[in-house]
Amino acid sequence: MCAKGQGSLTPATTAQTRARRAVAVAGAGIGGLTAALTLAEKRFHVVLHEKAEALEEAGAGIQLSPNATRILIGLGLEQEVAARAVTPDGISIRNARSGREIVRIPLGAFAQAHYGAPYWIVHRADLQAALLAHVRAHPDIDLRLGSAYSDSIHPGMPLIGADGVWSRVRQQLFGGPPATFSGHVAWRGTLDAAALPRDIAPGSIALWLGQAAHLVVYPVRSGTLVNVVAIVEGQWEQQGWNAPGEAAEIAAAFDPRRWSGAARDLIGAIETWRKWALFSVSHTQWARGDVALIGDAAHAMLPFAAQGAAMAIEDAAVLADCLGQSPDDASGAFQRYALLRRSRIALVKRTTWQSGLIYHLPPPVSLARNLVMTLLGGERLLAQRDAIYRWRLTP
């Protein structure tokens, strides 16, 4: 097994860690930036290609569970990320129709003690900015903005495809497949934290479970803003992350016969909506020769377990560890990486699929779901994620 433990992610000593060989990374999203840092820590020179001319603020909030935060902390990003992140004290799961709390899952200090790393919520742009600052400061990372996909292909140089759900590396070098539309559409908007209804704790995640839809509300940007995300079933499947959404359309999806006033008030308080169709990727080959795929390019999954970014971060750490142990055999290292990640990704995808199914149950089955959740209690529900949250880079 490649992994040698969390301690392998030690800070760079630049004079001693000059590159032994070069690796190209396509895509400077969360996975690509993390891959650049983890590879540079393993004494590789990284050429990081990004097609955009500038890395602009995009996306919404990201939930980072302990399996991901311990990697970021190991890379030395704790101070920067923690300064802009929120450590939620729990998840309040609510009945969509009545608005009442079904159960409360503890996070905050409980999760920190239980898993040895924090549970953070951070705006995607803040996480990207922290990663980018470290990338720019590292002498062994060459960030090339405005660099076309073809620029990332260098004869004899290993290539890592971190170019997202519509990955050109996957489709052109691996022969597909294209991403598959899930039948779900996500809507997002933000509110000033002062506008949050009184019955919603400002330091918590609130999750309403409804028929064929759910609503998630959580703080971002040090708690000054509240991110509102509605996931609804639908047939709009345009590619992209930032299409404008009509407020009347999303309001109509939250029928007053099925949704409480508090949830509908939140939906109605958002002035500007953005939406994106949710796609997944079920590709089984993540390595071929000197080319490997990570993150959404390899296995994009739905956000129902909040593990998309976390899996990209884990991928980057495992791949760098494998390559660090076989720096002259990229093909072998990439095959070991793919083998190590297979069962892990399968577990998380299974959890994600089950969560989506449970969240959107219709009545009367949903009544039984709510009763079971209440009887289990928050700590036992959290324990169902132990296999995901306890993961670490160990032998």
Spatial CA neighbour of 122 closest among 184, 72, 75, 166 = 72
Spatial CA neighbour of 314 closest among 302, 332, 296, 289 = 296
Strand order of the β-sheet with 205-210 is 101-106, 90-95, 205-210, 213-220, 225-233, 180-192, 273-280, 243-245
Q: How far apart are CA 28 and CA 48, in angstroms?
A: 7
Catalytic residue among 115, 218, 337, 389: 218
127-132 contacts at long range (C-beta below 8 A, 24 or more positions apart): 127/30, 127/62, 127/64, 127/81, 127/309, 128/29, 128/30, 128/33, 128/55, 129/80, 130/77, 130/80, 130/81, 130/84, 131/30, 131/33, 131/34, 131/37, 131/77, 132/28, 132/33, 132/55
Spatial CA neighbour of 134 closest among 6, 32, 37, 27 = 37
Residue 246: CB atoms within 10 A of its CB come to: 11
Q: How far apart are CA 54 and CA 144, in angstroms?
A: 10
Residues 6+ positions from 207 with CB-CB distance below 8 Å: 91, 92, 93, 94, 214, 215, 216, 217
Q: Where are the alpha helices (DSSP H) in the chain?
A: 30-41, 66-74, 78-84, 108-115, 124-137, 168-173, 247-253, 261-269, 296-299, 308-325, 330-359, 365-376, 378-383, 386-389
Is there a catalytic annotation at residue 218? yes
Spatial CA neighbour of 63 closest among 291, 355, 376 = 355
SS3 content of the chain, % helix, strand, coil (to 5): 40, 25, 35
Q: The dihedral of CA 171, 177, 181, 182: what is its sign? A: negative
- Residues annotated as catalytic are 218
